[in-house]
Structure 1
Amino acid sequence: MLLRLLPALAAGLLLSCSTFADSRVLTTIKPIQLISSALLDGIDEPAVLLPPGASPHAFALRPSDRRALAEAERIYWVGPGLELFLEGVLHDSPNARELMDVPGLTLREYAEAHSEHGHEHHDHEHDAGNLDAHIWLSPDNALTLARWMKADLAPLYPEQQSRLDANLARFEQQLEALDAALHRRFAPLKDKPYFVFHDGYAYLEEYLGIEHRGVFSLSHEVQPGARHVNALREQLQRAGHACVFSEPQFTPRLVQSLTAGLPLDSAQLDPLGAATPASADGYLQMLSSLTDSLAGCLEGI
């Protein structure tokens, strides 16, 4: 039996090692890889730490992951509000960059998710544990990150400054074009009722001018109690014809039990872009996929 398993084990080890091969830049999650891929198109191919489907809230580092973190010349992570498992690992790393600290980002506090202060730029005197870490879901934040990354990556690629500039300009133009199209599409959808499976879309919702009616679960780890489930069921009944959005990282059983017998349409959102290939257009593809799923369901109710 062991002899039969050895080739498979060797292949798995080789695949694990090759995941980070020749990558000077290591990102923790796919959306950050996609933003850096837009900048590094034709220059380098940034690697990503978490495999598709893995949750940054509950990930355990493998030995190959630790080696990759130790060898990377630049590490981009969101921060302990998202990847808590990296807080101790990256604390003293001179090559790690915590993206929640990037100047110019619009950061949201969960307690202020629907307040008039949602657009304010919060400094880090606020409770960092209460800040919404899903910063990549704001296209404005994505552009801020890309501009900051260009300056941060410049020392690593001194011979590629003109290419970095051109890539950033292309990314800016793509986002500008998509911005106009998205706001035209979502303008008539502002009052359509919908429900999401976890409270992680506030940045995108604010950008699009829409707002969910309810949240099924606050996180991967915390399941709603009976009182929350009953309250959501009542909300769904009052909403009438509405949309319910689940995610590939969550079991659909809760949504199915909540929506049974009600006039609801459903669709899936993937805020981590697991199925999006890393490329110069990857972030735009991820954002287009998310907004197509949102608008497609809302336009049908």
Structure 2
Amino acid sequence: MHRLLTHFSSVMLGLLFAAPAFAEVRVLTSIKPLQLIAAAVQDGVGKPGVLLPPGASPHHFTLRPSDIRNVREADLLYWIGPDLETFLPRVLEGRRAMTLAVQDISGLHLRRFGEEHRHDEEPADEHEEEHTDVHDEGTEAGEHDELHRPGALDAHLWLDPDNARKIASRMASDLSSIDPANAARYQANLAAFDQRLAAMDEKIEDRLKPLAGKPFFVFHEAFDYFEEAFGLRHAGVFAVSADVQPGARKVADMRKRLELAGASCVFSEPPIPPRLAQTLSEGLPVRLAELDPLGYDVKVDALGYERLLEALGSNLAGCLERL
């Protein structure tokens, strides 16, 4: 009996000390696109969390007490940087665990607002005639414009698949360091992610390449990374805030721009109500569709990031192909 108890105690003691090695690493991301990339890397090992709920804007979000607690308790926290999540810097000051603004990852392709796409070869003055932005005059929209002022960092960097590869690589490295028991799985997941992105790149490019030059308009300058990656360029931006209804003068300016463009696509973006796009396009040869850079309806799993980009490509092509 004594031997049996001693053996039982030894087994329980071993399990007690072994338990931390099997504890899931708590990964927290600021926005859903980063959560989708992390989910690909953690597939089969853990599930990353996210701060922003569906429909929330990273520009104007306010953290709840439960969010602050999650920030403090996470083992790894990934965010884009202060140009996007303006609500995070003060909260992060008290964190001791690993925190990374992914915009600081070495080798990332970073754009600044007002830059021409690298694949564009036309003179800048020709672009100025073709590319028109119409900005709102409200307070919220004014703050939004300040974040998108010429020369400011375009923080929508996750829409470049090459950037996503580099972010995933860094996540796999961080996770392997904290959780060496699962390092092989993280690296295998990373390799699988790279292979899937290569196939996705080719698929999206094949569909969008013939559509280059067809005019389309967006309500938010969020898609330049995606456009540059796949050879497109929007004809104009209607800088509209979801919280401010544009005035009659602004609506008239936007309609005039659409009249000049002729047959074109206008892409609204959640949570901006599509009824504004409907008002703008009434009586014009304009087709309406939606682009969601944050993937609010995308399922969080290993394939989520590809679904996000495939949805953008499919929605763009689906509208432009009908012009």
Q: TM-score, normalised by structure 2?
A: 0.79
The number of residue pairs the alignment matches comes to 272
Of residues 251, 265, 288 in structure 2, which corresponds to 1:243?
Answer: 265
Whichever of the two has the greater Rg, that structure is 2
1:102 paired residue number: 105
1:293 paired residue number: 315
User: 1:284 is paired with a residue of what secondary structure?
Assistant: helix
Of residues 298, 303, 306 in structure 2, which corresponds to 1:276?
Answer: 298
Q: 1:242 to 1:101 in 2, by over 3 A?
A: same
User: 2:114 is paired with a residue of what secondary structure?
Assistant: helix
Q: Aligned residues: percent identity?
A: 50
User: 1:60 is paired with a residue of what secondary structure?
Assistant: coil
Query: How much has 1:257 moved relative to structure 2?
Result: 2.4
- Letter of the 2:170 partner, please give it: W
Q: 1:195 to 1:106 in 2, by over 3 A?
A: same
Unaligned runs of 5+ in 2: 1-23, 122-148
The answer to whether the 8 Å contact 1:189/1:299 transfers is yes
- Letter of the 1:209 partner, please give it: G
In the TM superposition, what whole-angstrom CA distance separates every residue of 1:15-37 from its partner, at most 9, and x where no partner exists?
xxxxxxx7600011110000000
Residues 210-225 of structure 1: matches in 2 within 5 Å?
Answer: 210-217=232-239, 220=242
Q: 1:131 to 1:99 in 2, by over 3 A?
A: same
Q: 1:202 to 1:224 in 2, by over 3 A?
A: farther
Q: Distance in 2 between matches of 1:161 and 1:85?
A: 33
The answer to whether the 8 Å contact 1:267/1:297 transfers is yes
The answer to whether the 8 Å contact 2:114/2:150 transfers is no
Q: 1:269 to 1:117 in 2, by over 3 A?
A: closer
Q: 1:218 to 1:81 in 2, by over 3 A?
A: farther
In the TM superposition, what whole-angstrom CA distance separates every residue of 1:113-164 from its partner, at most 9, and x where no partner exists?
446799xxxxxxxx99800000111111111111111112212211011111
Q: 1:177 to 1:147 in 2, by over 3 A?
A: same
Of residues 148, 166, 176 in structure 2, which corresponds to 1:154?
Answer: 176
1:184 paired residue number: 206
- Letter of the 1:112 partner, please give it: E
User: 1:112 is paired with a residue of what secondary structure?
Assistant: coil
Query: How much has 1:218 moved relative to structure 2?
Result: 5.6
Q: Distance in 1 between matches of 2:151 and 2:118?
A: 18
Q: 1:141 to 1:224 in 2, by over 3 A?
A: farther
2:56 paired residue number: 54
Q: Distance in 2 between matches of 1:300 and 1:116?
A: 25
CA RMSD of aligned residues (A): 2.2
Q: Distance in 1 between matches of 2:179 and 2:224?
A: 35
- Letter of the 2:101 partner, please give it: E
1:24 paired residue number: 26
- Letter of the 1:134 partner, please give it: H
Q: 1:52 to 1:263 in 2, by over 3 A?
A: same
Of residues 229, 244, 263 in structure 1, which corresponds to 2:285?
Answer: 263
Query: How much has 1:111 moved relative to structure 2?
Result: 2.0
- Letter of the 2:109 partner, please give it: T
Unaligned runs of 5+ in 1: 1-21, 119-126
